[in-house]
Structure 1
Amino acid sequence: MKVVVIGGTGLIGSKLVEKLAEQGHEAVAASPRTGVNTLTGEGLAEVLRGAQVVVDVSNSPSFERAAVLEFFETSTGNLLAAEAAAGVGHHVALSVVGTERMPDNGYFAAKIAQERLIEKSPIPYSLVHATQFFEFVRGIADEATTGGEVHIAPVLFRPVAGDDVAAAVGRVAVGTPLNGRTELAGPEQFRMDEFFREALAALDDPREVVTDEHARYFGSELTERSLVPADGATLGRIRYSDWAAR
């Protein structure tokens, strides 16, 4: 099966390409680095020729509200049009658990707009909503830092390893289209403030983590379950302590 991975040279995309190739599929990494640009349409027709599945794990280079919305709307629109012309039978997109709970968040609003385009398209689709990746721990902490302190809300938090995300997306990609969504989270649930306190200590990061009920997550105030999936989500296998030890 030919599977084109948009964003295939990035964190999740590169892992996904490797996993699909190991299973005997023709996995093609598509990104500006390989001559494929979903914003301009450059290289799309060529890379999609003969593809049965397209997986979009690309991300916006800017998280500014207008820029990220423009990225996902333009990129997804171009991609879906090219897929329809090429006869692609399954579109898979990676999104985030909780997008619909924080419409005031610019990034989440852009992901909702992306999903609506996919849902309205005639192409069968699957949406994979994942929780925050282990690989984003430092970035989340940096965004939450004020005056050398990391302000984190004491809400539920269930991060997942990038390898588990790639494996889950790969399983969905080679399966029957869901025409809906599935959720993915890590095997362990934490209080977010406690997790970051331990995680930063393990990374020898000297910043103090301050428990703050009103701490914002990339601009949004969180409720107890903003960032965790509903019951029945697929759970990854890799525990944070094991991942960090590697």
Structure 2
Amino acid sequence: MKIVVIGGTGFIGSKVVADLSERGHEAVAAAPSTGVNTLTGEGLAEALAGASVVIDVSNAPVWEDAAVLEFFTTSTRNLLAAEAAAGVGHHVALSVVGTERLPDSGYLRAKLAQEKLIADSSIPFSIVHATQFFEFVRGIADGGTEGNEVRMAPVSFQPIAGEDVARVVAEVAVGAPANRTMEIGGPDRFRMDHFFRDALAAWNDPRVVVTDPHARYFGTELSDRSLVPGDEAILGKIHYSDWPGRIPTGE
């Protein structure tokens, strides 16, 4: 089966392409570097010819509110139109757990707009909501840093390995369209401030983690349910305690 992966040269996309190829599918990595641009439509018709499934794991190159909204809505409209013309039977999109619960985030408002376009289209779909990736926890710490302090809310946090995300996305893609949103998260739930206090200690990072109920996560205040999936979520197999990247080489 031919499966086109939009954003297929990126962090998650390259893992999805590798997983699908190992399963025996014709996985095509589509990105501007391979001549496929969803913003302009360049190369879409050629890439999607004969495709049964399209997976969109692309991400916006900028995070400013208006720009990120323009990216996700324009690229998704172009992609859905090209899929309809090519007769694609399943659209799979990767999004974020909590998208509908964090309206103060411009990025997540853009993802929600993207999801609505997908759900309102004529193409059968599956939307996968993932929690934060293990690989991005340092970036989250940096985002909460003020001087020598890392301000974190005492809320639930259930990160997942990128490898698990890619595996589940590939499994969803080769299955029947769900025509709904499903959630995936890591196998363990932590309290966010405790998690980052332990993580920084493991990194030998001198910053101090401060528990702050009003700490903002990329511009939005969190509740205990903001970042965690529901009871029916698919759980990853890799525990953070077993993930090699939790302590960078040489530290």
TM-score bracket, normalised by the shorter chain, equals over 0.9
Q: Distance in 2 between matches of 1:205 and 1:147?
A: 13
What is the DSSP-based 3-state SS (H/G/I as helix, E as strand, rest coil) of the residue aligned with 2:39?
coil
Q: Which residue of 1 aligns with 2:171?
A: 171
Q: Distance in 2 between matches of 1:181 and 1:189?
A: 21
Q: Which residue of 2 aligns with 1:70?
A: 70
What TM-score do you get using the length of structure 1 for normalisation?
0.98
Q: Shift of residue 245 of structure 1?
A: 5.5
Q: Which residue of 1 aligns with 2:109?
A: 109
Give the letter aligned to residue 66 of structure 2: A
Identical residues among aligned pairs (%) = 72
Q: Distance in 2 between matches of 1:105 and 1:245?
A: 30
Give the letter aligned to residue 202 of structure 1: A
Per-residue displacement from partner, 1:90-119 (whole Å, max 9, x unpaired)?
000000001000112101100000000001
Q: Which residue of 1 aligns with 2:10?
A: 10
Q: Which moved more, 1:17-26 or 1:204-213?
A: 204-213
Q: Distance in 1 between matches of 2:201 and 2:30?
A: 37
**Ranges in structure 1 where 5+ consecutive residues have no aligned partner:** none
Q: Which moved more, 1:140-149 or 1:71-80?
A: 140-149
Q: Cα distance 1:185–1:202, how it changes in 2: closer, same or farther (>3 A)?
A: same
Is 2:48–2:82's contact at 8 Å kept on the other side of the alignment?
Answer: yes
Q: Which residue of 1 aligns with 2:218?
A: 218
What TM-score do you get using the length of structure 2 for normalisation?
0.96
Per-residue displacement from partner, 1:202-222 (whole Å, max 9, x unpaired)?
122221111110000010000
Q: Confirm or deny that 1:156 pairs with 2:156.
A: yes
Give the letter aligned to residue 96 of structure 1: V
Q: Distance in 2 between matches of 1:204 and 1:34?
A: 40
Q: Confirm or deny that 1:187 pairs with 2:187.
A: yes
What is the DSSP-based 3-state SS (H/G/I as helix, E as strand, rest coil) of the residue aligned with 1:69?
helix
Q: Distance in 2 between matches of 1:206 and 1:15?
A: 33
Q: Distance in 1 between matches of 2:205 and 2:146?
A: 15
Per-residue displacement from partner, 1:123-155 (whole Å, max 9, x unpaired)?
000000000000111111111101121100010
Q: Distance in 2 between matches of 1:154 and 1:67?
A: 31
Q: Which moved more, 1:198-207 or 1:154-163?
A: 198-207
Q: Shift of residue 241 of structure 1?
A: 1.6
**Ranges in structure 2 where 5+ consecutive residues have no aligned partner:** none
Q: Shift of residue 50 of structure 1?
A: 0.4
Q: Confirm or deny that 1:20 pairs with 2:15.
A: no
What is the DSSP-based 3-state SS (H/G/I as helix, E as strand, rest coil) of the residue aligned with 1:20?
helix
Cα RMSD (Å): 0.9
Aligned positions, number: 246
Q: Distance in 2 between matches of 1:132 and 1:121?
A: 27
What is the DSSP-based 3-state SS (H/G/I as helix, E as strand, rest coil) of the residue aligned with 2:61?
coil
Give the letter aligned to residue 174 of structure 2: V
Q: Distance in 1 between matches of 2:204 and 2:86?
A: 50
